[in-house]
Structure 1
C-alpha cells in the first residue's frame, strides 16, 4: 500500500511539473529539437530492463505499448500549433491538465487491478513502456504537424 501511495504522489508531482513545463514552452517558439529530445531522454529509462525484477513477458510489452498508443490519442488531439511572427508556437490547451489528471486516475485504477497479479517491478516496467509508447506516439504526431506547418511557413 505504501508503494501505491508513494508512486501516486510521484506521478502527481510529475504531472504537475509537465503542466508547468508545457505552459512555459508555449511562450517560446517550438522546434524539432524540442519535440524530439524528451522521448530520447526518457529512452534511457529502458536500462531498467537489465535487472530481472523489471523484466516482463513480450505479451505484456505489447499490451502496455497498445494502451500507451491509445492514451496518446488524447494528447494528440489537444496538441495544436500556430504561426506567430514567422515562428511556430504550441498552443496551450485547457484540456491538457484534465487529460493528465485522467491518465493519472487511469494509472491508479490500472495499478490496483493488476497490482495483485504481477510484482511491483513488473508493474513499473509495464508503466514505463506505456508512458514511453504514449510519449513517442504523441511526439511523432507533433513532429508531423510541426513539419507540415514549417513547409507552409517557408512558402
Structure 2
C-alpha cells in the first residue's frame, strides 16, 4: 500500500514539476534543442523493460502509447509561440495548467483501476509509455510550429514585440 501511495505522489510531483518548468520556459527564449531533447532523454526510461517484472504484451504497450498520443492533442492545442525582440518564446497558456491537471486526474484514476489487475512494475511501465506517447507528438508538433515561425522570421513575415 505504501508503494502505491508513493508512486501516486511521484506522479503528482512530476506533474507539478512540468507546470513549473513550463511556466519558467515562457520567460526565456526557446530553440530547437530545448524542444527536442526532453523526449530523447526520456526515451532512456524504456530500459526498464529489460527487467522481466515490468514487461507487458506488445498490444498493451501500443495501447498505452496511443492513449498518450490522444492526450497529447490537448497539449499541442495549448502550445503556441510568439516573437519578442527577434527571439522565439513559448506563449503562456492558462488552459495548459488546467489540461495538465485534468490529465493527471484521468491518469491517476486509470492507474488506481489498472493496479487491481496489473502489478505495480507493469503499471509503471504502461504509464511511462503513456507519458512518452504524450510527450513525443507534443514536442514534434512544437518543433514543427517553431520551424515555421523561424522561416517566417527569416522572410520578415512576423511582427515582433518588445
- Root-mean-square deviation over aligned CA pairs: 0.9
Which residue in 2 is equivalent to 1:100? Answer: 100
- For the 8 Å contact 2:4–2:120, the answer to whether it is kept is no
- Give ranges in structure 1 of 5+ residues lacking alignment: none
Question: Which runs of 5 or more residues in structure 2 are unaligned?
Answer: 156-162
- CA deviation string 1:93-129 (max 9, x = no partner): 1112111211111111101221111111111110011
TM-score normalized by the length of structure 1: 0.96
The runs of at least 4 aligned residues of structure 1 exceeding 2 Å deviation read 1-4
- Report the CA distance between 1:4 and its aligned residue: 2.7
SS at match of 1:118: coil
Matches within 5 A, 1:23-62: 23-62=23-62
Taking the aligned partners of 2:18 and 2:33, their CA distance within structure 1 comes to 18
How far is the alpha carbon of 1:77 from its aligned partner? 0.5
The number of aligned residues is 155
SS at match of 1:130: helix
TM-score, normalised on structure 2?
0.92
1:143 is aligned to 143
